[in-house]
């Protein structure tokens, strides 16, 4: 079987891959995401291209040093009012974001790529829409207290597989895309590249 590497420190993505029965290594690709975001914003490039580019940069970086492996790169952006929003830096910023999103609809753009020998060999970008219900201050305080800094690891400061599901009144899109990895298209690509049995 071909060696598989996830170019991410994301525990959520790792859980999805393990649950699907994949054997892989996890080697985080440390790239300057903020610099890439600023460059794309300055150029007026949209969030779909930004997420795809960030996923590609991560996969290629690890793939260059591990040319024998297939490397998974992924990235997710929250898009609200035309703005691409990344992870919150602290709980105060998380609270501000959740207040801003409450009672509105936002999108998640999730990109995944596969790289081999430093080149992208497959890419996929998926989109989901989530409507957040109005949130009381009491609920927000309780939610932030219950989840703490664990929320800072996810764009939007929620995890649907936990208490974050209580934030929403409607969700449209693939569940795995919302969790950060469009799993079904990715598994299909891994079968094509011989990482999984077909």
Interval 102-141: pLDDT, tens: 999 999 999 999 999 999 999 999 999 999 999 999 999 9
Residue 16 placed within a domain: yes
Quick one: pLDDT at residue 50?
Answer: 93
Quick one: pLDDT at residue 82?
Answer: 87
Quick one: pLDDT at residue 39?
Answer: 86
Q: Cα angle at 34 between 31 and 38, to 5 degrees?
A: 125
Residues comprising the chain, all counted: 198
Quick one: pLDDT at residue 4?
Answer: 97
Say whether pTM exceeds 0.85: yes
Task: Give CA torsion, residues 64, 51, 150, 100, to 10 deg.
Answer: 160
CATH number at residue 153: 3.90.950.10
How far lies 33's CA from each of 53, 55, 58, 161, 198, in Å? 10, 10, 10, 26, 35
Q: Choose the catalytic residue: 32, 68, 75, 141.
A: 75
Neighbours of 162 (CB within 10 A): 13
Residue 197 placed within a domain: no
Residue 137 placed within a domain: yes
CA separation for the pair 180, 198 (Å, rounded): 24
- Is a pLDDT exceeding 80 seen at residue 9? yes
- Is a pLDDT exceeding 80 seen at residue 1? no
Average pLDDT over every residue of 185-191: 98
Residue 67 placed within a domain: yes
3-state SS, one letter per residue, for 135-167: CCHHHHHHHHHHHHHHHHHCHHHCCCCCHHHHH
Print the domain residue range for 58: 4-192
Q: Which residues pair with 72 in a beta bridge?
A: 6, 114
- Is a pLDDT exceeding 90 seen at residue 35? no
Residue 143 placed within a domain: yes
Residue 52 placed within a domain: yes
Residue 198 placed within a domain: no
Among 123-127, 160-164, 188-192, which is the least confidently predicted range? 160-164
The angle, 0 to 180 degrees and rounded to 10, between the axes of the packed helices 33-43 and 47-65 is 140
- Is a pLDDT exceeding 90 seen at residue 41? no
Interval 61-81: pLDDT, tens: 999 999 999 999 999 999 999
Looking at every residue in the chain, the average pLDDT score rounds to 95
Pairing of strands 70-80, 105-116: antiparallel
Considering its fold, how many domains does the chain have in total? 1
Is 141 one of the catalytic residues? no
CA separation for the pair 181, 163 (Å, rounded): 20
């Amino acid at each position: 079987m071909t060696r598989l590497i996830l170019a991410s420190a994301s525990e959520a993505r790792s859980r999805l891959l393990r649950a699907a029965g994949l054997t892989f290594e996890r080697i985080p690709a440390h790239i300057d995401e903020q610099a890439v975001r600023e460059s794309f914003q300055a150029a007026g490039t949209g969030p779909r291209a930004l997420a795809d580019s960030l996923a590609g940069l991560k996969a290629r970086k690890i793939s260059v040093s591990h040319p024998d492996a297939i490397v998974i790169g992924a990235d997710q952006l929250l898009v609200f009012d035309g703005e691409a929003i990344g992870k919150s830096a602290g709980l105060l910023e998380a609270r501000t974001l959740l207040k801003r999103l409450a009672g509105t609809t936002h999108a998640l753009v999730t990109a995944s790529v596969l790289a081999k020998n430093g080149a992208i060999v497959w890419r996929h970008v998926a989109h989901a829409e989530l409507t957040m219900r109005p949130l009381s201050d009491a609920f927000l305080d309780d939610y932030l207290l219950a989840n703490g800094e664990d929320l800072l690891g996810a764009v939007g400061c929620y995890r649907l597989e936990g208490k974050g599901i209580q934030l929403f009144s409607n969700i449209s899109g693939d569940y795995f895309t919302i969790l950060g990895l469009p799993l079904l298209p990715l598994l299909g690509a891994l079968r094509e590249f011989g990482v999984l049995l077909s």
